[in-house]
Amino acid sequence: MKKTLCLYFQVHQPYRLRQYRFFDIGKNHDYFDEFANKTIMTRVASRCYIPANRIILDLIKEFNGAFKVAYSISGIALEQMEQFAPRALESFQELAQTGHVEFLAETYSHSLASLISPRKFKDQIKVHVKAVEKNFGQKPKTFRNTELIYSDTIGEMVANMGFTTMLTEGARHIMGWKSPDYLYVNALNPKLKLLLRNFRLSDDIAFRFSDKKWADWPLTAEKYAGWIAGALEKDDMVNIFMDYESFGEHQPASSGIFDFLKAMPGMILNHTNLEILTPSQAAAKHQPIAPLNVPYAISWADEERDISAWLGNELQTEAFQNLYKIEDQVRKSNDPDLQRDFRRLQASDHFYYMCTKFFSDGDVHKYFNPYDTPYEAFINYMNVLSDITLRTPKQ
Amino acid sequence: MKVLMFGWEFPPHISGGLGTACDGLTRGLAKHQVKVLFVMPSASGDEDQSAVRIINASDVAAFQNREEARELIEKVQFLKVTSNLIPYLGPDEFTEQVDLEREKEWNEFRISFGQKFKFSGKYGSNLMEEVMRYSLVASAIARQNQFDVIHAHDWLTYMAGIAAKRVSGKPLVVHVHATEFDRSGENINKQVYDLEKRGMEAADRVIAVSNLTRNIVINNYHIDPSKVFTVHNAVDFSTVENREITKGVPEKIVTFLGRITFQKGPEYFIEAAYKVLQKIKDVRFVMAGSGDLFNRSVRRVAKLGISSHFHFTGFLRGEDVKNMFAYSDVYVMPSVSEPFGISPLEAMKANVPTIISKQSGVAEVLDHAIKVDFWDVNALADAIYGLLTYPALSAMTVRCGLEEVNALKWDNAAMKVKQIYESLKEEKS
């Protein structure tokens, strides 16, 4: 039986907040930095989404379907693409039409709802599934949670919604001696199959590709395919999961990342015992080897691979709890503008900006963060939250 | 390692932060086996000498005899404040003029053989004269003592440092705690600036208390960046105890504590107070301190119509400062220019959430104070509002701020200073 390489790319952009002062509270309901959001979306579209999609499309044609990928595009990224970069959205739709691209489900807002309430979590997934169906004409069978956040109970909720496959992190502290390169199942509901990210091989591209101090720099497609083949001599599957923005945005075009992307599938498929599958195909093909026990939530972030990047300090938990205090009333309000703003405020990014871990480490945090300090992020977010709370009808 | 250090003041009799910093630094150096001879113009005898040996310049005669005086005139005559620069003088006339000056000096010096000068050690009107006299005594002290490095704190002592270097040939470190630009803004006193510049130029190493100050040294004094090093100040809170106090008013209190001068940015505090008071009424603002902008500040507060919620205490000292911190719910330091700034650390030590301007040196060492540009009144108002309104924010800044302040140790700063000394010794050998 052939061994499997599975490629999945995350596409997400939050609605960044504008500078919202306390004197705006109760007066101004315009929260988002239209200029920044538009600038970033158009930049990322032209540097990453459009050129990378072009390459992926060519590869699918070149290998006549033997090359496949999966994407998860958050609902608020879809919205912004529609608004600011319709050509990027079209290029994703073109990929969908090839029949060799799988689109995954997630929470519409790229939210942390899985950590607070099953009902909210479910509602947001449903909204996202609808958006995927509308844009790409397929009903997702595979689920990936925000930042690959996963636990036994989250997996169980996902299984109960009818998903058969879910992606998460092959976190070292969970895996122990076990390899992430096999199919696992949820510990509470074995119907849900789990694909685990091989973080070493994924980060070789996502983080290390252009790092000249890295011993393996420069990374060629041939070398990389050799590593994949090496891992698959024994194991069943290698899951390469990363932010799509790694191509052309985090790793600039000048680093040769696009040439690498063009050459890599050919190098893989040269190995006759290897094939490339989408997550649901890979999950259907391989035999699960064991249930995976994850009592506490894991994610793909930072060294800790836990949820401390979003809910690790008291600022984050206070903001998070205050946000969801008004959720019921917002849902019942029949006010589409209010509901739209509320969705956007749920993006995990807003909580990431309040993370205090990056004082000590975290170039990655700094890269993604529009605020100088977590305190500024918190003040700004809380001001907005104060206003939306005032807007929300009391019961 | 032995250091001849020139300061202007030393606890317990201090009027500013310089004495406290010298005390902390010398204690730190003592822990790293660096012996310090600390010279000050006017010691009172009740200084704690457990970490340093204090030399009272008032007890030292500048020179005992003719030879010493001759040597001094040769080596240190440049120290006179009078300028030899007379326009339109030919070379011969110039030499003649210089000889004349020298003869005059010699005559002046002859009178003072064996004489001691009683320094006030204050910052009075004859400050310039004291600074110059101090340098004369410094050369005598340098001749009488053994040491490896000379270390001079702020411009008042730079001339003393230079004199000691001339006499002994030992390397000189000058330590910049503040510059004339911090004290006077753009309207600097040229005489002071010149003395600062000469000290920095003559120094083998310049220590700045922050990167902010280091940049001023490099850009405004044109000092070679490769010899300017930043060593952030630390703070010694070993004797500080926090107090519980019952407030007389139910409202939360936002405090400005410092000199009411242009450099401290009092007007930004007032404007921010006005903005906050538009939104919330159950808060009071306190401006504690005195200074040349005091009257103007009172007028501005009255004009804005917020006097019922804005209070002036005048200058506070000792116990009252501690009480003020205990009363405060938010402490604000909106300084326009602050080489370092110890008072935010005192506030954080007293569990008061703190807002500081990005234009303060202390901002470079603090993560858990909220930082704003001094001129950004909206950001300042927003930060005050946030601390008053969102409990998690004040809780977290207080908790993490205390840990952070407790970690700022003079031991670490002294270690860096010692490394600078050692680099000089290596250069020598």
pLDDT tens track for A314-324: 999 999 999 99
Q: Is residue B99 part of a domain?
A: no
pLDDT-derived band at B98 (thresholds 50, 70, 90) equals: low
Work out the minimum CA distance from A30 to partner chain B, whole angstroms.
Answer: 17
The span from the first CA to the last CA of chain A, in angstroms, equals 60
For residue B389, the chain A residues in CB contact (below 8 A) are 22, 382, 386
Work out the minimum CA distance from A356 to partner chain B, whole angstroms.
Answer: 9
For residue A25, the chain B residues in CB contact (below 8 A) are 279
- Candidate from B233-237, B311-315, B403-407, B420-424 with smallest mean pLDDT: B233-237
pLDDT for res B244: 73
Instruction: Give Cα A244 to chain centroid, integer Å.
Output: 9
| Per-residue pLDDT at B375 exceeds 90 | yes
Nearest to B396 among A314, A359, A376 (CB): A314
HEC-encoded secondary structure of chain A: CCEEEEEEEEECCCCCECCCCHHHCCCCCCCECHHHHHHHHHHHHHHHHHHHHHHHHHHHHHCCCCCCEEEEECHHHHHHHHHHCHHHHHHHHHHHHCCCEEECECCCCCECHHHCCHHHHHHHHHHHHHHHHHHHCCCCCEEECHHHCECHHHHHHHHHCCCCEEEEECCHHHHCCCCCCCCEEECCCCCCEEEEECHHHHHHHHCCCCCCCCCCCCCCHHHHHHHHHHHCCCCCEEEEEEEHHHEECCEEHHHCHHHHHHHHHHHHHHCCCEEEECHHHHHHHCCCCEEECCCCCECCCCCCCCCHHHHCCHHHHHHHHHHHHCHHHHHHCCCHHHHHHHHHHCEHHHHHCCCCHHHCCCHHHHHHCCCCCHHHHHHHHHHHHHHHHHHCCCC
Instruction: Give Cα A307 to chain centroid, integer Å.
Output: 14
Contact yes or no for A376 and B395 at CB 8 A? no
pLDDT tens track for B340-349: 998 999 999 9
For residues A173-187, give the mean pLDDT. Answer: 95
Contact yes or no for A379 and B390 at CB 8 A? yes
Size of interface A-B (CB pairs under 8 A): 61
pLDDT for res B103: 67
For residue A319, the chain B residues in CB contact (below 8 A) are 392
Work out the minimum CA distance from B385 to partner chain A, whole angstroms.
Answer: 7
Q: Is residue B418 part of a domain?
A: yes
CA-CA-CA-CA torsion sign (A126, A132, A138, A143): negative
Counting residues of chain A whose pLDDT is more than 70, the rounded percentage is 97
Nearest CA in chain A to B377: A21
Contact yes or no for A315 and B393 at CB 8 A? yes
| Per-residue pLDDT at A39 exceeds 80 | yes
Q: Is residue B244 part of a domain?
A: no
Question: Is B51 or A163 the better-scoring residue by pLDDT?
Answer: A163
- Looking at the structure, do residues B127 and B142 belong to the same domain, yes or no? yes
pLDDT for res A365: 60
| Per-residue pLDDT at B79 exceeds 60 | no
pLDDT for res B84: 36
Nearest to B390 among A313, A318, A359 (CB): A318
Nearest CA in chain A to B388: A379
Contact yes or no for B389 and A382 at CB 8 A? yes
Counting residues of chain B whose pLDDT is more than 90, the rounded percentage is 59
Q: Is residue B394 part of a domain?
A: yes
List CB contacts of B321: < 8 A, sequence separation 6 or more: B257, B288, B346
Contact yes or no for B378 and A376 at CB 8 A? no
- Candidate from A355-364, B74-83, B277-286 with smallest mean pLDDT: B74-83
For residue B395, the chain A residues in CB contact (below 8 A) are 314
Nearest to B367 among A25, A359, A383 (CB): A359
Contact yes or no for A318 and B391 at CB 8 A? yes
Counting residues of chain A whose pLDDT is more than 90, the rounded percentage is 93
Nearest to B393 among A21, A23, A375 (CB): A375
pLDDT for res A357: 82
- Looking at the structure, do residues B327 and B184 belong to the same domain, yes or no? no
pLDDT for res B113: 58
Contact yes or no for B370 and A376 at CB 8 A? yes
Nearest CA in chain A to B274: A23
- Looking at the structure, do residues B397 and B277 belong to the same domain, yes or no? yes
pTM: 0.86
pLDDT for res B317: 78
Nearest to A382 among B381, B386, B396 (CB): B386
Q: Is residue B127 part of a domain?
A: yes
pLDDT for res A237: 97
- Looking at the structure, do residues B190 and B310 belong to the same domain, yes or no? no
Contact yes or no for A378 and B395 at CB 8 A? no
| Per-residue pLDDT at B96 exceeds 90 | no
For residues A143-159, give the mean pLDDT. Answer: 97
B358 close to B337: Cβ distance less than 8 angstroms = no
Interface test with A, best of B276, B358, B390, B394 (most A CBs within 10 A): B390
For residues B375-397, give the mean pLDDT. Answer: 96
Instruction: Give Cα B377 to chain centroid, integer Å.
Output: 27
pLDDT-derived band at B184 (thresholds 50, 70, 90) equals: confident
For residue A315, the chain B residues in CB contact (below 8 A) are 392-393, 396
- Candidate from A268-272, A340-344, B105-109, B143-147 with smallest mean pLDDT: B105-109
For residue B392, the chain A residues in CB contact (below 8 A) are 314-315, 317-319, 378
- Looking at the structure, do residues B338 and B271 belong to the same domain, yes or no? yes
For residue A386, the chain B residues in CB contact (below 8 A) are 389
Nearest CA in chain A to B353: A375
The CATH number of residue B331's host domain is 3.40.50.2000
pLDDT for res A142: 98
Give CA–CA dist B392/A321, Å, rounded: 11
- Candidate from A72-81, B37-46, B115-124 with smallest mean pLDDT: B115-124
Work out the minimum CA distance from B393 to partner chain A, whole angstroms.
Answer: 6
**Which of the residue ranges B52-66, B127-141, B208-222 has the most confident prediction, judged by mean pLDDT?**
B208-222
- Looking at the structure, do residues B228 and B259 belong to the same domain, yes or no? no
- Looking at the structure, do residues B226 and B345 belong to the same domain, yes or no? no
Instruction: Give Cα A200 to chain centroid, integer Å.
Output: 17
Q: Is residue B76 part of a domain?
A: no
The span from the first CA to the last CA of chain B, in angstroms, equals 14
| Per-residue pLDDT at A360 exceeds 60 | no
Nearest CA in chain B to A321: B392
| Per-residue pLDDT at B179 exceeds 80 | yes
Residue range(s) defining the domain that contains residue B380: 252-406
| Per-residue pLDDT at B426 exceeds 90 | no
Nearest to B382 among A21, A317, A359 (CB): A21
| Per-residue pLDDT at A367 exceeds 90 | no
Interface test with B, best of A379, A381, A383 (most B CBs within 10 A): A379
Contact yes or no for A313 and B396 at CB 8 A? yes
For residues A291-311, give the mean pLDDT. Answer: 94
B238 close to B349: Cβ distance less than 8 angstroms = no
pLDDT for res B45: 84
| Per-residue pLDDT at A105 exceeds 80 | yes
Interface of B with A (CB under 8 A): 275-276, 278-279, 367-368, 370-371, 378, 381-383, 385-386, 389-393, 395-397, 400
**Which of the residue ranges B112-126, B132-146, B403-417 has the most confident prediction, judged by mean pLDDT?**
B403-417
pLDDT for res B83: 35
Residue of A158, A152, A167, A160 whose CA lies nearest to A292: A152
Contact yes or no for B278 and A23 at CB 8 A? yes
- Looking at the structure, do residues B379 and B261 belong to the same domain, yes or no? yes
Work out the minimum CA distance from A124 to partner chain B, whole angstroms.
Answer: 28
Cα distances (Å, whole numbers) of residue B122 to A125, A185, B14, B119: 73, 79, 9, 8
Interface test with A, best of B396, B403, B404 (most A CBs within 10 A): B396
Work out the minimum CA distance from A267 to partner chain B, whole angstroms.
Answer: 48
Burial label, B187 (beta-carbon count in 10 A; 0-12, 13-18, 19+): exposed
Catalytic residues of A: 147
**In this predicted complex, what is the ipTM?**
0.83
- Looking at the structure, do residues B128 and B172 belong to the same domain, yes or no? yes
pLDDT for res B186: 73
For residues A39-44, give the mean pLDDT. Answer: 97
Contact yes or no for B279 and A319 at CB 8 A? no
Q: Is residue B260 part of a domain?
A: yes
Q: Number of structural domains, chain B? A: 2
Give CA–CA dist B315/B257, Å, rounded: 9
pLDDT for res B235: 86
- Candidate from B29-43, B165-179, B310-324, B366-380 with smallest mean pLDDT: B310-324
Q: Is residue B102 part of a domain?
A: no
HEC-encoded secondary structure of chain B: CEEEEECCCECCECCCHHHHHHHHHHHHHHHCCCEEEEEECCCCCCCCCCCCEEEEHHHCECCCCHHHHHHHHHHHHHHCCCCCCCCCCCHHHHHHHHHHHHHHHHHHHHHCCCCECCCCCCCCCCHHHHHHHHHHHHHHHHHHCCCCEEEEECHHHHHHHHHHHHHHCCCEEEEECCCHHHHHCCCCCHHHHHHHHHHHHHCCEEEECCHHHHHHHHHHCCCCHHHEEECCCCCCCCCCCCCCCCCCCCCEEEEEECCCCHHHCHHHHHHHHHHHHHHCCCEEEEEECCCCCHHHHHHHHHHHCCHHHEEEEECCCCHHHHHHHHHCCEEEECCCCECCCCHHHHHHHCCCCEEEECCEHHHHCCCCCEEECCCCHHHHHHHHHHHHHCHHHHHHHHHHHHHHHHCCCHHHHHHHHHHHHHHHHHHHC
Q: What angle do CA B329, B333, B339 make, to 5 degrees?
A: 145
| Per-residue pLDDT at B295 exceeds 80 | yes
Contact yes or no for B392 and A314 at CB 8 A? yes
